[in-house]
């Protein structure tokens, strides 16, 4: 009899962005196949499990998809519970379809636990809602890179578009978006390491998107274009400072003696 595979979305950043259901499944795991961008702090919730790195990073050495599929099937046949721990949400640019298909072909049962994706984490970090009443009614999530490593964009299809895996392609992405019909002065917000305490954000007109390359170099990056990229109120400081102040206030409340 085979075990089951549970796909768990770990969120895009710090360990505490995982869901309660995800933590419960992780605690039941015999084996965890994890992505490279998942927080290592999650290991403490499954100390009994064998952890196997099957991470994929752009332009770096990565575990091939066929090898990952084979590992899932093999360990599910040997153990009761295998957790496939994916960064962000498993259903958003997580190659979930290929892994579900491999398990279905092998007759292995599975479950998918959703997670926070980078687009929503970036919106939270910058306090810029992806949808806006009256002017931001639609959102498109797009990968900046095709399977063949090419940048492919279309003309404006939504009020807000979010491009994943764009960190090394910012200049080219800006040129392609303008060529596809986006106005040169379209607001753009770039966020790297969304969901982490050290996330960074910067604002640019579309024609100046290349200027973000140095600031976000070497960091997982998402690019929000259009209505969702605009600030909701005059800036009073960086988002990082604001988040730190909130965290300090809540920490003080948590340690205050009960009355």
pLDDT at position 149 is 59
What's the pLDDT tens digit per position in 198-228?
Answer: 999 999 999 999 999 999 999 999 999 999 9
Of 144, 195, 205, 148, residue with least CA distance to 170: 144
Catalytic residue among 39, 125, 145, 165: 165
Q: Determine the average pLDDT of the residues in 148-176.
A: 85
Q: Is 185 a catalytic residue?
A: no
Annotation says 86 is catalytic: no
CA 138 to chain centre: 19
**Residue 242 pLDDT > 70, yes or no?**
no
Record the pTM: 0.86
**Stretch 220-246: mean pLDDT, rounded?**
75
Supply the pLDDT for residue 250.
Answer: 67
b (16+ CB within 10 A) / e for 159-197: bbbbbbbbbbbbebbbbbbbeeebeeebbbbbbbbbbbe
pLDDT of residue 237: 47
Catalytic residue among 35, 39, 125, 159: 35
Q: What is the pLDDT of residues 14-62, one digit of tens each?
A: 999 999 999 999 999 999 999 988 999 999 999 999 999 998 655 455 6
pLDDT band at 244 (very low <50, low <70, confident <90, very high): low
CA distance 13 to 196: 5
In the set 30, 56, 89, 198, the catalytic residue is 56
The confidence score (pLDDT) of residue 144 equals 74
Phi, psi of 8 (to 5 degrees): -120, 125
Look up 1 and say whether it is catalytic.
no
Mean pLDDT of 230-238: 67
Name all domains of the chain by residue range, CATH numbers in brackets. Answer: 4-113 (3.40.1010.10), 118-229 (3.30.950.10)
- Asked whether the predicted pLDDT for residue 100 surpasses 90, the reply is yes
The predicted structure's pLDDT at residue 258: 44
Q: Work out the mean pLDDT of the chain and round it to a whole number.
A: 89
Which of these, 200, 249, 244, 198, lies nearest to 39 by C-alpha position?
198
Q: What is the pLDDT of residues 114-152, one digit of tens each?
A: 999 999 999 999 999 999 998 899 999 998 766 555 677
CA–CA separation, 22 vs 10, rounded Å?
7
**pLDDT recorded at residue 48:** 96
């Amino acid at each position: 009899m085979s075990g089951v595979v549970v796909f768990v979305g770990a969120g895009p950043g710090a360990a505490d962005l995982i869901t309660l259901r995800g933590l419960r499944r992780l605690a039941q795991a015999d084996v965890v196949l994890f992505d490279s961008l998942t927080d290592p702090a999650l290991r403490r919730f499954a100390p009994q499990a064998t952890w196997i790195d099957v991470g994929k990073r752009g332009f770096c050495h990565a575990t091939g998809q066929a090898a990952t599929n084979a590992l899932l099937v093999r360990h599910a046949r040997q153990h009761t519970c295998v957790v496939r721990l994916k960064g962000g949400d498993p259903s958003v640019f997580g190659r979930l379809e290929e892994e579900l298909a491999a398990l279905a072909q092998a007759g292995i049962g599975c479950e998918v636990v959703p997670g926070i994706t980078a687009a929503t984490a970036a919106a939270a970090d910058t306090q810029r809602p992806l949808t806006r009443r009256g002017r931001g009614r639609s959102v498109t999530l797009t990968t900046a890179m095709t399977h063949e490593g090419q940048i492919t964009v279309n003309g404006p299809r939504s009020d807000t578009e979010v491009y994943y895996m764009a960190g090394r392609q910012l200049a080219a992405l800006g040129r392609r978006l303008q060529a596809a019909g986006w106005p040169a002065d379209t607001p753009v917000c770039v966020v790297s390491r969304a969901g982490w305490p050290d996330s960074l954000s910067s604002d640019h007109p579309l024609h100046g998107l290349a200027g973000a390359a140095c600031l976000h170099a070497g960091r997982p990056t998402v690019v929000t274009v259009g209505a969702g990229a605009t600030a909701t109120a005059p800036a009073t400081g960086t988002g990082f400072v604001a988040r730190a102040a909130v965290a300090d206030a809540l920490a003080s409340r948590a340690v205050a003696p009960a009355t």
